[in-house]
Amino acid sequence: MNTTLEALIQAHRDQAGALLPILHAIQNQLGYVPAEATPLIAKSLNLSRAEVHGVISFYHHFRTTPPGKHTLQICRAESCQSMGSRDLEAHAKAALGIDYHQTTTDGAISLEPVYCLGNCACSPAVRVGDEVQGRMDAAHLDALIAELRQGGVA
């Protein structure tokens, strides 16, 4: 783990404003930013651990625990609400048996809120990995969840 982290930090440390690029690189590779990363980054960028931790905790995107195999984001913003996203999120929570920021017991799916995916002309929208799906409804969401549980999609 530490050699992976060191390599990722090394690859980005000389960029101006390197901290976010480093954190993105780590999360891209590992799915989250592990606690071990904080002191290594702090040392490399000549920051305090508190500063690095403060940055990680400020941004919704960065997580400090491993995600499930897939992360399902449901858009909660206004445009999607106008097309029924409140019902959709209730349906997702019930179908998965979890709340936001949790992972199903089989480790397949983590559920996260998101505020707008820029897909508002085809609301409501959800995102899995790098794929956005528009005009989502309960039936399509059930199909998507089933597909994810079988290990498909992104």
Instruction: Give the whole-angstrom CA distance, residue 135 versus residue 80.
Output: 9
Site for ligand FES in 92-131 (CB under 6 A): 116-120, 123, 125
Nearer to ligand FES, 103 or 123 (CB): 123
Nearest distance in Å: CB 107, another protein = 23
Instruction: Give the whole-angstrom CA distance, residue 87 versus residue 44.
Output: 46
Q: How many residues does the chain have?
A: 154
Q: Give me the residues that bind another protein (CB under 8 A), please.
A: 16-21, 23-24, 45, 54-55, 58-62, 77-83, 114-123, 125, 127, 130-135
Residues 23-62 as b/e (b if ≥16 CB within 10 A, e otherwise) read bbbbbeebbebbeebbebbbebeebeeeebbebbeeeeeb
Nearest distance in Å: CB 120, ligand FES = 3
Binds ligand FES (CB under 6 A): choice among 9, 56, 80, 88: 80
Contact predicate 148/141, CB 8 Å: no
Q: Which residues form the interface with ligand FES (CB under 6 A)?
A: 75, 77, 79-80, 116-120, 123, 125
